[in-house]
Amino acid sequence: MIIPTIEQLKQLMAHVRHVVFPDYFPAADIPQALELPDAFLDQLPEVSRLLQTDVDAMLHNDPAVTDRGEVILCYPLTQVMLHYRTAHALYLLGVPRVPRMLTELAHSRTGIDIHPAATIGEYFCIDHGTGVVIGATAIIGNHVTLYQGVTLGARNYIYSAEGRPLDLPRHPILEDRVTVYSNTSILGRVTIGHDTIVGGNVWLTHSVPPHSRVLQQNAISRNE
C-alpha cells in the first residue's frame, strides 16, 4: 500500500465528519488516490451511530455543555473519537498504516492517545482528556467515562525467543458504567467490574468486582 499523505488523511476525515455531522461540516470527497476497501463505506453508518452516542454521553456528563453543537465543534472528545472510530473500522478491515496514522493525528491535536485496535463501546465519554492513553488490547464497555490523565496500559510484556515483545492481551478491561477519575493508571490485563468508580491518582494493577469504589489511599477497593 502507498503511504498516504497527511492531506489525504485530513480529506478522508473531512468526508467522515460531513457524513456524521452534516449540519456542522461541509461536504468533502474521499481522495481517490487513497486506497481503501469498498467495505469501508458500509461501515460509516455504524461509525456515525456510535459517534452520536459519544456526543450524548458528553451532554449527559458535563453540566457546562450548552447544546450538541458545542460538543461537536468544541470538545476534544468528538475529534478524537471521530478519528478513533474511523481508524478502528479500517483496522478491522485489515487496512495497514492508515488506522495508526489517523489516531496519531488526533493524538497530536488533542493530547489523547487511543490505539486503533482498542475496543470501545457506545456512549463513551472523555472529559477534558489531555494525557489519556488507551492501549491496543484494552476493552471498554458501554457508558464508560474517563477523565484527564487516565492510562489504560500494560504492566509487563512476554517476549519471543528473538527478544521481541509478543502482541498478547495486556491492557485492562473496563466493564459497563465504569468511571475513572484523573491521573489514574490501570495497568495489566485486569478487569474493572461494572458500575465501579475509580478515584483520582490511583495506581491499580489488580481486578476489582462490580459496584466497587477504589480510593487513592492504598488503592483499597470496597463493595458498596
What's residue 201's pLDDT? 96
pTM recorded for the entire structure = 0.93
Quick one: pLDDT band at residue 222, thresholds 50, 70, 90?
Answer: low
Q: What angle do CA 189, 195, 197 make, to 5 degrees?
A: 75
Q: What is the mean pLDDT of residues 73-87?
A: 97
pLDDT tens, 127-172?
Answer: 999 999 999 999 999 999 999 999 999 998 888 888 888 889 999 9
Q: Return the SS3 of 200.
A: coil
Alpha helices in 62-202 (DSSP H): 68-74, 76-92, 98-110
**Residue-range domains of the chain with CATH:** 1-111 (1.10.3130.10), 131-224 (2.160.10.10)
Cα pseudo-dihedral 111, 112, 115, 116, rounded to 10: -110
Q: What is the mean pLDDT of residues 105-134?
A: 97
Residue 223 above 60 pLDDT? Answer: no
pLDDT tens, 13-60?
Answer: 999 999 999 999 999 999 988 889 999 999 999 999 999 999 999 999
Reported residue count of the chain is 224
- % of the chain residues with pLDDT over 90: 88
What's residue 218's pLDDT? 54
Kindly list the distances between the CA atom of residue 48 and the CA atoms of 82, 110, 111, 142, in Å, as whole numbers in the listed order. Answer: 9, 20, 23, 16
With beta carbons less than 8 A apart as the criterion, state whether 65 and 59 touch. yes
Residue 103 above 80 pLDDT? Answer: yes
